[in-house]
Amino acid sequence: MALKQGLEGIVNEPLKTKIEAFTRSEITNSIFFGNTPITDVFTADYDSLTETEKYVKAILLLQGVCKECDSAKLEEAAIILDHLSCKAPTSQIYRALAYVHALDGRFIEANYVLEKGKVLGTGLEHFLANKLKEGGDVVSRLDYRPDMSYVAVYQENDRQIEKLLRETKKAEVVLVVDDLKYVASLKNKFKDSLYTIETESEIHEKYNPFTESRLRIVLKNNNNGIVEKGYQFGMQKALNPNQCKMAQFEK
């Protein structure tokens, strides 16, 4: 993951209890499937595992996270479930992925997964509603109101972003960045138009840019190669959601 998240205290004990019960149930239900003994999914070649065995591995990792607050296990579970949700989505995969994102403090993504999978009864609904409101309150306190919002995912597309900022009037570019290593160079390159550097629920740096159009750098955890996750996240952060477009550039 690109951003370090503290796992302790992110979710309350009743919710952790619910996640633990879910993982126990899923493991019990999965013991009778697959060709690999359940304890061997960690040592077997990943590409040789069936979809069910990959899911079991993710559930075992999630179970370990609840016990040990291990961020490496959380990241691995997220990668597996992200790709399973694209290839062979089920309500259980969406449920597990929502739990993983919630534990990682990725509340926008957790909520999106629940909505996409139409999953109910997770115990996350009220919890996520409060967390999303907190994040929304932070953004609403910004004093800039653009006529147009553009959402872009950073893919070393500096020239296209620069052109978009130059050719628009009173617009914001919400640039979703999923790796901290790019931040220093982006700050330097776009110092005249940079407005904020943010995470999901906090504004870390705020500037007074010279330009009419402004750049907001929004940091998020790794998209795991699924660029649509970045766009969906950025759309939720737009200051003008009623006039918001995805800025998709040709490579």
At 11, the pLDDT band (50, 70, 90 cuts) reads low
Q: How far apart, in whole angstroms, are the C-alpha atoms of residue 15 and residue 3?
A: 23
Strand partners, 173: 150, 215
pTM, two decimals, is: 0.77
Q: Span 90-108, mean pLDDT?
A: 89
Backbone angles phi and psi of 9, in degrees to 5: 85, 0
pLDDT at residue 214 tops 90: yes
Q: How far apart, in whole angstroms, are the C-alpha atoms of residue 251 and residue 240?
A: 27
* Count of other CB atoms within 10 angstroms of residue 222: 17
Q: Span 185-192, mean pLDDT?
A: 94
Q: Span 50-55, mean pLDDT?
A: 86
Q: Span 59-82, mean pLDDT?
A: 84
